[in-house]
């Protein structure tokens, strides 16, 4: 095969024809079979690989030849963004589906309060920033044609007389025509172009196959990896030698990661053309794998080219010139088609994406402003206007790209041109991240931040690229404007040790982010911004919030007029019929619900962008501007409802607590009631026994007239004794009850407790003698001043000591009384060597009327009130009375503990 320029051009034209056919079939396929192959995740992934342009196809080899491994950063950045798809891309896709976002300008404008100003700014800046990138494609295609024509023995053929500029112009014109035919046939409601995507996917396969074919050829020709690398090293091209991993490496990694999100065409294919969110899952690994495959052979091709082709050959064209030099014309043609594929796919998609932005954010708003009333022109006017606006913007965009190419034709490398564009679009990154993650970011700050970043970019990155063609620029670069040294574009503020790329990236993104952060903190959001910020941040929650700031007071007719103008008659009819069917109402009486208006707004947003759709609908709906006050009021009401419900919750919690307390109190009451019953029955029992005896003996005395005086006296004394017992019992009960109710008054004085103890011992001495009990004198405290009523204290001690004597049934009974002072407390212990109190009785020993088994057995026992009374008395003296473990194995030990009175305490303290 003989390769000529004419053959190459004819092949290119034929290839474009093939693409057109694929796009056409793709469009009609999607229309007839919505779920077909074209909507598979792999087609989606292949369309994302429009990222790999002729910069990759030709420029990466050139970049590898000049800077070694650095070329890889351009693919590593997007790889990292895609493997982290869950955190950024998924949100972007979700939000864009929910909000019908059509472009990156639309995204930012929508988030920052549907701001048209921001939309215009982003659109204009994107068009400027992309110009170098389009120029790169033109340059690559032109150079590739020139390379083949230059190598051909048949000369330039019909290219005779065309210089590089003319050729580039021809390519640009052809591309413009092609893109217009491809991308602006109709206005899709979702801005999805299935046919174009199909063609792009085909091109992705072609360029990958072509590059791999060249790579395999190089491996074959070079004899494998090792010979290629060592031959290159031998001829002085060793990637070990270059300082790769410095500031430039980091900067271009960051730029590439930003570009995969911010480039208008990448946003178009990844986000807008996404028909199913789950496709992103596949793309998250398949797209990095595609780029890995694209990059595998770059180094071998570059190094083989460097070591075999004559020095001075353009390394950007190695992919083409290596097969040509080896006489592989077929492979060279294939490589040319691969490069052509990468350039055309980029130009088509980029200009479609940019033209959508231009028409939605500049042309339509201007048109809306010019039209006096609620819509524009006649029936289909808007659609035609949009299409024409897009066609003109495509021509304009390619013209801009061509102008840049023309002005910078002196520079030769491809990759640096691409990086200029990357730095430009990266200025959208801070605002996008803020849109996704920062609720407080404000629109004014976003506008200021993007503008600041762009000014720095224009100065430090864009302008220096004209240095080779403009002496003025060259002078500014060397000396600064008007000789101001610290404003030199590549050494701003004296920072001159950074690589120019890293320098531009650093200053532009730093100032951009700083303005965004500080501006957001200083300015406040508008009401609509506030609403949108919430929608954006809540996008990945499970239940999407549906709010429409528009009220539903418009008539269906008005809405239909608007819808027909923008969407076309057929689509508008379909939309309204669907609504009529769902609500079950005839067309004529259709009352548009807020949900329907919201849906209509989203549909319109799909065609003319969210800001324009919002403005357009708010002109129609209820005839007034969007009632933001109403939105705010709604928000307030919601807030109030939330607060109200929280208050209710608190009240109910309190009620629950109160109910619980009541229940506890009730339980206590029932227990006390039970105790009272028990007490009454015990008192009755206690009273009944002596009463029975008294009654029986008095009856005998009354009935037996002839009773002998001895018996009669005995009976009388029994009656007397029983009545005494009864009286003492009743006294005790009254005493205890008064003590418990706190009614008993007594005098508390600072007294010597030891004196009270001596008094008690004296009283019990007789009882001890009577029972044959030995009173053992334990250690004594000597003198202990406590605050107490001395008689009451004696009463307690007498009770304890007499109990110890009475219940001690051992043959050799001993009761020991001892007292001591420690840590401000005076203690008395009464210890006996009796049988002790069994373990199971201990808890009840202080209960009223409880006498224990021992008490029952002893003949003369009390009513079982002595201990409860004693304990009550001690408690009133702030002390304790308890049963403790005695020193010996048997016996019981009661301990009284009383706090010592303060030394300077008043001698007389009256308490109740």
Partner 1 sequence: MTRRKLVAAAFFFTLFGVLGFLPPIIALFRFDARPFGVPVEAVYVFVLWGLLVLGARWFSRALPEDGTQAAQRPGEEP
Q: Which residues bind partner 1 (CB under 8 A)?
A: 34, 69, 72-73, 76, 79-80, 82-84, 86-87, 94, 97-98, 224-230, 238-240, 244-246, 249-250, 253, 276-278, 281-282, 284-285, 288-289, 292, 295-296, 299, 540, 542-544, 546, 574, 578, 595, 598-599, 602
What is the nearest approach in angstroms of partner 1 to the Cβ of residue 230? 6
Residue in 398, 343, 428 with CA at minimum distance from that of residue 52:
343
Using the minimum distance from each CB to partner 1, give the nearer residue, 19 or 572.
572
What is the nearest approach in angstroms of partner 1 to the Cβ of residue 227? 7
Residues 6+ apart with CB under 8 A from 495: 503, 506, 507
Q: What does the CA dihedral 266, 268, 271, 277 come to, rounded to 10 degrees?
A: -110
Residue in 371, 372, 412, 366 with CA at minimum distance from that of residue 389:
366
What is the nearest approach in angstroms of partner 1 to the Cβ of residue 463? 30
> Which contiguous run of DSSP H or E holds residue 750?
strand 748-752
Q: What does the CA dihedral 430, 431, 434, 440 come to, rounded to 10 degrees?
A: 130
The pair of structure tokens assigned to 591 is 């009352």
Reduced to 3 states, what is the DSSP secondary structure of residue 445? helix
Using the minimum distance from each CB to partner 1, give the nearer residue, 253 or 385.
253
Question: ∠ CA 434-437-438 to the nearest 5 degrees?
Answer: 60
Using the minimum distance from each CB to partner 1, give the nearer residue, 34 or 36.
34
What is the nearest approach in angstroms of partner 1 to the Cβ of residue 96? 11
For residues 293 and 56, what is the distance between their CA atoms, to the nearest angstrom?
12
Backbone angles phi, psi at 616, to 5 degrees: -65, -45
Q: What is the CA radius of gyration of the chain?
A: 51
**DSSP 8-state class, residue 900:** B
> Which contiguous run of DSSP H or E holds residue 475?
helix 471-479
What is the nearest approach in angstroms of partner 1 to the Cβ of residue 895? 59
**DSSP 8-state class, residue 901:** P
Using the minimum distance from each CB to partner 1, give the nearer residue, 25 or 253.
253
Using the minimum distance from each CB to partner 1, give the nearer residue, 567 or 869.
567
Using the minimum distance from each CB to partner 1, give the nearer residue, 128 or 250.
250
Using the minimum distance from each CB to partner 1, give the nearer residue, 256 or 376.
256
Q: Using an 8 Å Cβ cutoff, are 603 and 100 in contact?
A: yes
Using the minimum distance from each CB to partner 1, give the nearer residue, 290 or 340.
290
For residues 98 and 105, what is the distance between their CA atoms, to the nearest angstrom?
16
Using the minimum distance from each CB to partner 1, give the nearer residue, 395 or 509.
509
Rounded to 5, what percent of the chain is helix, strand, coil? 70, 5, 25
Spell out a b/e string for 650-682, using b for 16 or more CB atoms within 10 Å of the CB, else e.
eeeeeeeeeeeeeeeeeeeeeeeeeeeeeeeeb
Partners of 749 in the β-ladder: 788, 908
What is the nearest approach in angstroms of partner 1 to the Cβ of residue 240? 5
What is the nearest approach in angstroms of partner 1 to the Cβ of residue 840? 54
Residue in 416, 81, 106 with CA at minimum distance from that of residue 260:
81
What is the nearest approach in angstroms of partner 1 to the Cβ of residue 101? 12
For residues 238 and 225, what is the distance between their CA atoms, to the nearest angstrom?
14
Backbone angles phi, psi at 780, to 5 degrees: -125, 150
Using the minimum distance from each CB to partner 1, give the nearer residue, 230 or 664.
230
Using the minimum distance from each CB to partner 1, give the nearer residue, 297 or 894.
297
Give the pairing type, strands 825-832 and 814-822. Answer: antiparallel
Using the minimum distance from each CB to partner 1, give the nearer residue, 97 or 488.
97
What is the nearest approach in angstroms of partner 1 to the Cβ of residue 295? 8
Cβ atoms within 10 Å, residue 481: 12
What is the nearest approach in angstroms of partner 1 to the Cβ of residue 246? 8
For residues 176 and 870, what is the distance between their CA atoms, to the nearest angstrom?
111
Give the pairing type, strands 748-752 and 908-909. Answer: antiparallel
Using the minimum distance from each CB to partner 1, give the nearer residue, 154 or 245.
245
The pair of structure tokens assigned to 479 is 């000396």
Residue in 475, 600, 490 with CA at minimum distance from that of residue 550:
600
Distances (CA, A) of 559 to 145, 529, 555, 628: 53, 25, 7, 20
DSSP letter for each residue of 358-417: HIIIIIHHHHHHHSSSSS-SSTTHHHHHHHHHHHHHHHHHHHHHHHHHHHTTT---SHHH
What is the nearest approach in angstroms of partner 1 to the Cβ of residue 16? 33
Using the minimum distance from each CB to partner 1, give the nearer residue, 597 or 893.
597
What is the nearest approach in angstroms of partner 1 to the Cβ of residue 284? 5
Q: Using an 8 Å Cβ cutoff, are 77 and 492 in contact?
A: no
Cα 322 to chain centroid, rounded: 52
What is the nearest approach in angstroms of partner 1 to the Cβ of residue 282? 7
What is the nearest approach in angstroms of partner 1 to the Cβ of residue 341? 23
For residues 762 and 427, what is the distance between their CA atoms, to the nearest angstrom?
104
Reduced to 3 states, what is the DSSP secondary structure of residue 896? strand
What is the nearest approach in angstroms of partner 1 to the Cβ of residue 654? 34
Backbone angles phi, psi at 821, to 5 degrees: -120, 135
Write down the residue that tokens 């080219």 correspond to: 305
Using the minimum distance from each CB to partner 1, give the nearer residue, 315 or 519.
315
What is the nearest approach in angstroms of partner 1 to the Cβ of residue 349? 23
Using the minimum distance from each CB to partner 1, give the nearer residue, 426 or 445.
426
The pair of structure tokens assigned to 728 is 């003492």
Using the minimum distance from each CB to partner 1, give the nearer residue, 437 or 486.
437
What is the nearest approach in angstroms of partner 1 to the Cβ of residue 283? 9
Using the minimum distance from each CB to partner 1, give the nearer residue, 257 or 347.
257
DSSP letter for each residue of 119-142: HHHHHHHHHHHHHHHHHHHHHHHH
What is the nearest approach in angstroms of partner 1 to the Cβ of residue 267? 18
């Amino acid at each position: 095969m003989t390769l000529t320029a004419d053959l190459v051009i004819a092949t290119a034209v034929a290839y474009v024809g093939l693409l057109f056919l694929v796009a056409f079939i793709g469009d009609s396929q999607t229309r007839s079979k919505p779920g077909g192959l074209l909507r598979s995740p792999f087609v989606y992934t292949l369309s994302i690989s429009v990222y790999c342009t002729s910069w990759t196809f030709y420029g990466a080899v050139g970049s590898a030849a000049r800077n070694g491994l650095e070329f890889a950063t351009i693919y590593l950045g997007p790889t990292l963004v895609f493997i982290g798809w869950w955190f950024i891309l998924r949100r972007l896709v979700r939000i864009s589906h929910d909000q019908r976002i059509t472009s990156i300008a639309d995204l930012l404008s929508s988030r920052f309060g549907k701001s048209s100003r921001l939309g215009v700014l982003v659109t204009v800046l994107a068009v400027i920033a992309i110009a170098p990138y389009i120029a790169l494609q033109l340059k690559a295609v032109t150079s590739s044609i020139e390379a083949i024509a230059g190598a051909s023995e048949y000369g330039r053929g019909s290219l005779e007389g065309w210089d590089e500029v003319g050729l580039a112009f021809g390519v640009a014109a052809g591309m413009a025509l092609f893109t217009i035919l491809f991308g602006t046939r109709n206005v899709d409601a979702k801005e999805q172009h299935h046919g174009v995507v199909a063609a792009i996917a085909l091109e992705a396969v072609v360029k990958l196959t072509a590059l791999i074919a060249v790579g395999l050829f190089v491996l074959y020709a070079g004899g494998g990896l090792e010979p290629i690398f060592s031959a290159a090293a031998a001829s002085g091209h060793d990637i070990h030698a270059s300082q790769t991993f410095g500031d430039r490496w980091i900067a271009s990694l960051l730029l590439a990661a930003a570009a995969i999100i911010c480039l208008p065409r990448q946003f178009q294919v990844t986000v807008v053309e996404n028909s199913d969110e789950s496709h992103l899952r596949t793309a998250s690994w398949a797209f990095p794998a595609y780029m890995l495959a694209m990059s595998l052979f770059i180094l071998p091709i570059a190094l083989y080219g460097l070591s075999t082709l004559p020095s001075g050959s353009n390394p950007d064209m190695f992919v083409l010139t290596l097969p040509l030099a080896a006489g592989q014309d077929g492979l060279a043609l294939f490589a040319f088609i691969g490069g052509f594929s990468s350039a055309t796919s980029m130009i088509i998609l980029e200009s479609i994406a940019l033209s959508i932005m231009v028409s939605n954010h500049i042309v339509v708003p201007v048109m809306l402003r010019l039209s006096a009333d609620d819509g524009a022109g006649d029936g289909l006017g808007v659609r035609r206007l949009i299409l024409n606006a897009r066609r003109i913007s495509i021509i304009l965009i390619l013209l801009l790209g061509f102008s840049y190419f023309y002005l910078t034709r002196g520079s030769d490398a491809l990759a640096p041109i691409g990086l200029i564009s990357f730095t430009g679009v990266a200025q959208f990154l801070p605002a996008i991240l803020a849109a996704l993650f920062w609720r407080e970011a404000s629109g004014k700050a976003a506008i200021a931040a993007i503008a600041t970043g762009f000014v720095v970019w224009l100065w430090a990155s864009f302008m220096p690229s004209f240095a080779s063609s403009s002496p003025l620029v060259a002078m500014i670069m060397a000396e600064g404007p008007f000789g101001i040294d610290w404003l030199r574009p590549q050494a701003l503020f004296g920072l001159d040790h950074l690589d120019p790329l890293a320098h531009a990236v650093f200053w532009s993104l730093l100032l951009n982010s700083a303005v965004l952060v500080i501006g957001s903190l200083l300015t406040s959001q508008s009401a609509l911004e506030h609403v949108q910020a919430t929608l954006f941040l809540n996008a990945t929650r499970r239940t999407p919030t549906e709010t429409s700031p528009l009220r539903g007071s418009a008539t269906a007719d008005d809405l239909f007029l608007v819808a027909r103008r923008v969407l076309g008659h057929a689509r508008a009819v379909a939309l309204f019929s669907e609504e009529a069917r769902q609500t079950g109402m005839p067309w004529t009486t259709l009352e548009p619900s807020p949900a329907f208006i919201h849906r209509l707004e989203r549909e319109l947003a799909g065609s003319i962008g969210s800001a324009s759709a919002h403005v357009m609908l708010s002109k129609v709906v209820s005839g007034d501007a969007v009632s933001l006050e109403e939105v705010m009021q709604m928000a307030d009401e919601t807030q109030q409802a939330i607060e109200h419900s929280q208050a209710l919750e608190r009240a109910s919690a309190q009620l629950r607590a109160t109910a619980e307390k009541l229940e506890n109190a009730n339980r206590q009451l029932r227990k006390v009631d039970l105790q009272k019953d028990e007490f009454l029955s015990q008192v009755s029992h206690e009273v009944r026994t002596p009463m029975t005896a008294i009654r029986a003996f008095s009856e005998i005395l009354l009935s037996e007239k002839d009773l002998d005086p001895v018996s009669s006296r005995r009976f009388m004394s029994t009656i007397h004794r029983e009545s005494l017992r009864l009286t003492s019992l009743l006294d005790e009960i009254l005493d205890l009850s008064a003590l418990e109710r706190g009614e008993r008054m007594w005098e508390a004085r600072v007294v010597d407790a030891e004196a009270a103890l001596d008094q008690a011992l004296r009283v019990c001495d007789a009882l001890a003698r009577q029972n044959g009990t030995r009173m053992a004198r334990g250690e004594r405290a000597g003198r202990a001043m406590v605050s107490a009523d001395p008689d009451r204290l004696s009463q307690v001690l007498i009770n304890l000591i007499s109990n110890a004597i009475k219940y001690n049934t051992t043959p050799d009974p001993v009761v020991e009384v001892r007292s001591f002072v420690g840590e401000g407390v005076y203690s008395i212990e009464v210890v006996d060597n009796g049988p002790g109190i069994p373990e199971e009785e201990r808890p009840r020993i202080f209960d009223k009327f409880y006498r224990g088994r021992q008490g029952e057995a002893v003949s003369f026992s009390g009513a079982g009130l002595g201990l409860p009374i004693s304990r009550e008395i001690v408690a009133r003296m702030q002390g304790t009375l308890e049963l403790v473990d005695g020193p010996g194995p048997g016996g019981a030990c009661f301990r009284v503990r009383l706090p010592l009175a303060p030394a300077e305490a008043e001698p007389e303290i009256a308490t109740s």
